Amino acid sequence: MAITAEEKTGTFHLQTDNTSYIFQVMENGELGQLYYGSKIHVRPQYVNLSVREQRNATTAWKLERPDFQPDVLKQEYASFGKGDFRYPAYKLIAENGSRISEFVYKRYEIVEGKTRIAGLPSAFDDTKDDAQTLIIHMEDVFSGLELELSYSIFPHQDVLVRSALFNNCGSKEFTLADAFSAQLDLPDCKYDLLHFSGSWARERHLHRAHLRPGIQSIGSMRTASSAQHNPFIMLARSGADEDTGEVFGFNLIYSGNFLDQVEVDQFETTRILLGINPAEFSWRLLPGQSFQTPECIFSYTAAGMNGLSQQLARFYREHLLPARFAETERPVLINNWEATYFDFDEKKLLSIAEKAKELGIELFVLDDGWFGCRNDDTTSLGDWFADTDKLPLGLDHLAKQIHAMQLKFGLWFEPEMISLDSRLYDRHPEWVIHVPGRAMSPGRNQFVLDFTRQEVVDYLFEAMGRIIEDAHLDYIKWDMNRHITEMFGACLAPEQQMEMPHRYILGVYQLYERLTSSYPHVLFESCASGGGRFDLGMMYYAPQAWASDNTDAAERMLIQFGTSYGYPQSMMGAHVSAVPNGQTGRVTPLETRTAVAFFGAFGYELDITALSAEETFKIKDQIKFYKKYRSLFQFGTLYRIESPFDDEQNVMSWQVVSNDKKHAVACRCQILNRANPPYTRIYFKGLTADQKYTVNDSAEKFYGDELMNAGFFVQQLMDACRHAGVSADFQEALFVLKAVE
Q: Which residues bind ligand GLA (CB under 6 A)?
A: 337, 367-368, 412, 479, 481, 527, 529-530, 546, 549
* CB of 370 or CB of 629, closer to ligand GLA: 370
Dihedral sign (CA 493, 498, 503, 504): positive
Secondary structure element (H or E) that encloses residue 632, with its range: helix 630-635
Is residue 479 part of the annotated active site? The answer reads yes
Alpha-carbon dihedral sign for residues 320, 322, 324, 325: negative
Q: In this structure, what DSSP letter does residue 497 have?
A: G
Q: What 3 state SS string does 267-324 have? A: CCCEEEEEEECHHHCCEEECCCCEEECCCEEEEEECEHHHHHHHHHHHHHHHHCCCHH
Residue 88 or residue 573: which is nearer to ligand GLA going by CB? 573
As a whole number of angstroms, the distance between CA 395 and CA 702 comes to 55
In terms of CB distance, is 61 or 412 closer to ligand GLA? 412
Q: Report DSSP state, residue 717.
A: S
Nearest distance in Å: CB 201, ligand GLA: 9
Distance (Å, whole) CA 597 – CA 607: 17
Among candidate residues 266, 295, 216, the one with its CA nearest the CA of residue 55: 266
Q: What is the DSSP string of 448-466?
A: EB-TTSHHHHHHHHHHHHH
CB of 595 to ligand GLA, least distance (A): 21
Residue number of the CB atom closest to ligand GLA: 368
265, 367, 549, 552: which is the annotated catalytic residue? 549
Q: How many CA within 13 A on the CB side of residue 349?
A: 32
Judged by CB, which is closer to ligand GLA: 412, or 598? 412
- Residue 478 contacts residue 368 (beta carbons within 8 Å): no
Question: Cis bond leading into 501, ω under 30°?
Answer: no
- Cβ proximity to ligand GLA, 412 vs 509, nearer residue: 412
Q: How far is the CB of 367 from ligand GLA (least distance, A)?
A: 5
Instruction: Report the nearest approach of ligand GLA to the CB of residue 427 (Å).
Output: 23
Compare residues 434 and 482 and give the one whose CB is closer to ligand GLA: 482
Q: Residue 531 CB, nearest distance to ligand GLA (Å)?
A: 8
Query: Which is closer to ligand GLA, CB of 336 or CB of 634?
Result: 336
Whichever of 376 and 458 has its CB closer to ligand GLA, that residue is: 376
Distance CA 230, CA 645 (A): 17
Please pick, among 71, 140, 265, 479, the residue that the annotation labels catalytic.
479
DSSP lists the bridge partners of residue 197 as 205, 229
DSSP string covering 382-412 = T--SB-TTT-TT-HHHHHHHHHHTT-EEEEE
Residue 421: φ, ψ to 5°? -90, 80
Q: What is the phi-psi region of residue 451: left when phi exceeds 0, alpha when psi lies from -120 to 50, beta otherwise?
A: alpha
DSSP state of 522: P
The DSSP output letter for 328 is: S
Residue closer to ligand GLA by CB (options 148, 479) is: 479
CB of 482 to ligand GLA, least distance (A): 10
Q: Nearest distance from residue 338's CB to ligand GLA, in Å?
A: 8
Minimum CB separation of residue 417 from ligand GLA in Å reads: 10
Nearer to ligand GLA, 11 or 446 (CB): 446
CB of 375 to ligand GLA, least distance (A): 12
DSSP 677-711: PPPEEE---S--TT-EEEETT-SS-EEHHIIIII-
Catalytic site residue 549?
A: yes
Count CB neighbours of 215 within 10 A.
Answer: 14
C-alpha distances in Å from residue 232, one per residue of 18, 396, 418, 482: 21, 40, 30, 22
Residue 307 Rama label (left phi>0; alpha psi -120 to 50; beta):
alpha
Q: How far apart are the C-alpha atoms of 27 and 528, rounded to whole Å?
A: 48
Comparing CB distances to ligand GLA, the nearer of 365 and 695 is: 365
CB of 477 to ligand GLA, least distance (A): 7
Task: Tell how strand 270-276 and strand 475-478 pair up.
Answer: unpaired
Tell me how far, at minimum, the Cβ of 480 lies from ligand GLA, in Å: 9
33: nearest Cα among 162, 194, 211, 142: 162
**N-term to C-term CA, the chain:** 37
- Active-site residue numbers? 479, 549
